[in-house]
Amino acid sequence: MNRRNVLKIAGVTALAMTVNANASVDTSAKNRIEMSPKDPKKMEKGELKHTPLITIKDKDAKGYTLVEINIGQGGIIHPSTPEHWIDFIELYADDKLVGKSILEAEISRGYACFSVKLDAVKTLKAKAGCNLHGIWTSTVSV
Ligand SMILES: [Fe+2]
């Protein structure tokens, strides 16, 4: 490694340390492994807690249907603490990303809703990211 590369690395490191010093920037590592229940028909408590529940609600006068996503099923709601929370929820219509919410630890819990046009849509898929337990997905037919 030559002197120029060493200086570049030192500069990047100094920049990273500056970013880490800024309390408003979340630098914590998050688990981004794609997860799935062992048996989707008989989910365990930890699986129920992370699996998005997609609820299709009413269509409005402009043709947008309200789609709610709760993280947790069977009466189990995923916690939201400074150490453990759902940090994002995405909604896909026929594999196209149509909505994304970024959630803040403790102050927000794993819930999002989007108004989307579903006229030609066949499936909805929700993805939720738990900072500790990875990314969980649910799919429903429309
Ligand atoms: Fe979790």
Residues with CB under 5 A from ligand 1 (ion): 130, 132-133
CA atoms of 26 and 107, how far apart (whole Å):
15
Task: Note the pTM of the prediction, 2 decimals.
Answer: 0.80
Give residue-wise pLDDT tens across range 101-133.
Answer: 999 999 999 999 999 999 999 999 999 999 999
Residue 133 alpha carbon to ligand 1 centre in Å:
5
Q: How confident is the model at residue 2 (pLDDT cuts 50, 70, 90)?
A: low
Q: Are strands 65-71 and 86-93 parallel, antiparallel or unpaired?
A: unpaired
CA atoms of 78 and 85, how far apart (whole Å):
7
Residue 52 alpha carbon to ligand 1 centre in Å:
12
Rounded mean pLDDT, 8-14: 44
Residue 125 alpha carbon to ligand 1 centre in Å:
19
Give residue-wise pLDDT tens across range 60-101.
Answer: 999 999 999 999 999 999 999 999 999 999 999 999 999 999
Which class does domain 30-141 fall in? mainly beta
Q: Six-digit token pair at 99? A: 């909505």
Domain boundaries, the chain: 30-141
Give residue-wise pLDDT tens across range 39-65.
Answer: 999 999 999 999 999 999 999 999 999
b/e string for 84-111 if b means 16 or more Cβ within 10 A? Answer: ebbbbbbbbbeeeebbebebebeeebbb
pLDDT on residue 14: 40
Q: How confident is the model at residue 4 (pLDDT cuts 50, 70, 90)?
A: low
pLDDT on residue 22: 45
Report yes or no: 14 and 94 within 8 Å, Cβ to Cβ. no
